[in-house]
Amino acid sequence: MKSIIFMGTPEFSAPILTSLIDAEEYNVIAVVTQPDRKVGRKHILTPSPVKKVAIQYDIPVYQPEKLGGSEELEQLIDLHADLIVTAAFGQFLPMKLIDSVKIAAINVHASLLPKYRGGAPVHYAIMHGEEETGVTIIYMVKKMDAGKMLAQESIDITKRDDVGTMFDKLSLLGRDLLLKTLPALLDGSIEAKDQDENKVTFSPNIKPEEEQVDINLKASLVDDKVRGLRPFPGAFVYLNGVRTKLWKVEVLEQKTNLEPGQVVKKTKHSLDIATGENGVISIEELQPAGKPKLTITDYLNGSENAFIEGDQVIKYEEY
């Protein structure tokens, strides 16, 4: 039985950890995850999904704010594990930890490497209108997500998918791919492949200013951005001067001569807005700052006279 240190944090990581715990061939001897965070309006201190799984199975949990230089780092090195498996952990691993394992340190990365190295590969794949993404299992090296590839599988992105649905799909894909890859890694029958450095792209963590939707983009890209930031961190516009999150929009099959951000049509149940390249979107769900998420019908019930055809109601503000 091979001993494993598992390192991960969000919902994406939890099924992968559970599969390793359930497998007879492996013994998860430690779990490393991000510290508990305050969540929601009541700021309730909440453990990560990975920590919840570890507690359920009575596995020791380590939660350093920063792994490098921490006491936990030395404790993990002293475990002399056979393997380290990471999946959306959220921190760099010091090389002396990677070098301490007997067999290998590997990462389950949610992209078709070498595309979208970095911390937000799923967000970027959707925001860039990709029609597929996937999971790649790589050796961990000092350079971020640059290790040799052990295995890779792809999956379609539909126009109904968002970050939440894709994380669910990719988590299961990653779980299954890992369980298929580990035996080949352990018996030496797998041949790792170099990443093509000429095809490398990056997906850094989303900055706050990148959450704003540029209404000057064509309608399909506006929709891609909204889905690429849903359910977190959320895309926003300034709607009549109020910072407002757009949770769901529909791309309409029509053209307009109005300027991006102007009202094309407003009824009791719809609000259609011009975008770039003469496109039109219909806003379906939104959330003005300080208010709950609303359907467009509920929102318009309280905004009877706020929208008149031709009015400029959304403006893109440069940071």
Residue written as token pair 């992209």: 111
144, two tokens: 């971020």
User: Which positions make up the binding site for (6S)-5,6,7,8-tetrahydrofolate?
Assistant: 111-114
- C-alpha to C-alpha distance for 16 and 240, rounded to whole angstroms: 44
- C-alpha to C-alpha distance for 163 and 297, rounded to whole angstroms: 25
- C-alpha to C-alpha distance for 100 and 84, rounded to whole angstroms: 10
Pairing of strands 61-62, 26-32: parallel
User: Which positions make up the binding site?
Assistant: 111-114
